[in-house]
Amino acid sequence: MMYSRLIGSGSYLPEKVLTNEELESMVDTDHDWIMARTGIAERRIAADDEFTCDLAEKASKAAIKAAGVSAQDIDLIVVATTTADQVFPSTACLLQHRLGIEGPPAFDVQAVCAGFMFALDIADKFIRTGSASCALVVGAETFSRIIDWSDRRTCILFGDGGGAVVLKADQQPGILSTHLHSDGRFKDLLCVPAGISRNYQAIQSGTAFTTMEGSEVFRWAVTAMADLVDETLAANSLDKEDVDWLIPHQANVRIINAVGRRAGFPAEKVIVTVEHHGNTSAASVPLALDESIRDGTIKPGDLVLMEGFGGGFTWGSALIRI
């Protein structure tokens, strides 16, 4: 039986920091409201000439270095993003070229804030079936490009960033299980109601922005991610005490705390990075994972339950032995 082992992680945040105080001069909001309702103090914003592939490249190079492999060892690239550089080719193909890799499959996955979990699931299945032996899995976003910076209900929440992991085939797990879900009935609660095929006028006029029914999304995010913990533990016949760390999607500290409480995890076992990143969509979980590995919070041998939730709705989890 073949499993995927995580052998390296990396992340990258753009240099520009956008604080709550700066947002106060852009919309009718204030730092205390944002902190109390979201736990977000600041977020990073990509420079005008910085694109999703740039963030993905920096995160990937850090992950490849940490993994101790060469880019030439990688035989699968999956990039989760909602904010691709171009309509096509995929950001994964652009990234593949930047990394000097020729030949193996590279493609994007679109599941918004749950995208990294979908990408991880796919890469894991390639490895388990012997179709790949060393996979680069990336979550990268320039979400700031699809935000209406005059809408205080959304602009305070999101940020840009990238995170990546390298998975390698191994006899030992690694990824113990992955669980994915989607439900398109909720398509209008969190969306950009424009695209290439539909409402292209909004793209042309530069008004293709994220819209959200905040409190509805909040409710569903908590329920879906709390249920995912139960589903993941049951699939592995484990108890919550067996898990060292829970990494919920970094959307809002109130969502993270509510998921932790509902799932019965003490706050000390729940990873929280949202204060300095905001919601970086598909980059949120790999960013939190990489930071926690690098600062020594998550150690080799730890059992980590990661989960994402996003527009669609989409939601998914992975249980992984580091």
Nearer Cβ to ligand UT7 (61/153): 153
Binding status of residue 225 toward ligand UT7 by CB under 6 A: no
How near is the Cβ of 21 to ligand UT7 at its closest, in Å? 13
Distance CA 229, CA 309 (A): 12
Answer yes or no: are the C-beta atoms of 56 and 140 closer than 8 Å.
Answer: yes
How near is the Cβ of 299 to ligand UT7 at its closest, in Å? 28
How near is the Cβ of 159 to ligand UT7 at its closest, in Å? 12
Binding status of residue 128 toward ligand UT7 by CB under 6 A: no
Q: Output the CA torsion 93→304→132→90 (10° steps).
A: -10
Residue indicated by tokens 């929440």: 157
The amino acid occupying position 315 is W
In the region spanning residues 228 to 257, those forming contacts with ligand UT7, defined by CB under 6 A, are 249, 251-252, 255
In the region spanning residues 278 to 307, those forming contacts with ligand UT7, defined by CB under 6 A, are 279
> 35 CB contacts (<8 Å, ≥6 apart)?
20, 41
Q: Which of 16, 17, 33, 231 binds ligand UT7 (CB under 6 A)?
A: 33
Q: Which member of 53, 93, 113, 155 is catalytic?
A: 113
In the region spanning residues 43 to 102, those forming contacts with ligand UT7, defined by CB under 6 A, are none
Nearer Cβ to ligand UT7 (188/242): 188
Cα separations in angstroms, 226 against 5, 255, 263, 306: 25, 10, 5, 12
134 is catalytic: no
Residue indicated by tokens 């006029």: 205
Q: Which of 125, 128, 145, 153 binds ligand UT7 (CB under 6 A)?
A: 153
Distance CA 49, CA 71 (A): 25
List helix spans (H) across the chain: 20-24, 31-38, 52-67, 91-98, 115-128, 152-155, 200-204, 214-235, 253-263, 274-277, 284-294
Q: Which member of 53, 134, 155, 249 is catalytic?
A: 249
Interstrand relation of 106-109 and 76-80 (parallel, antiparallel or unpaired): parallel
Of 92-100, 132-140, 153-161, 175-183, the segment contacting ligand UT7 by CB under 6 A is 153-161
> 88 CB contacts (<8 Å, ≥6 apart)?
none
249 is catalytic: yes
Nearer Cβ to ligand UT7 (29/182): 29
Question: Which residues are designated catalytic?
Answer: 113, 249, 279
Residues that bind ligand UT7 (CB under 6 A): 29, 33, 37-38, 113, 152-153, 156-157, 190, 212, 214-215, 217-218, 221, 249, 251-252, 255, 279, 309-310
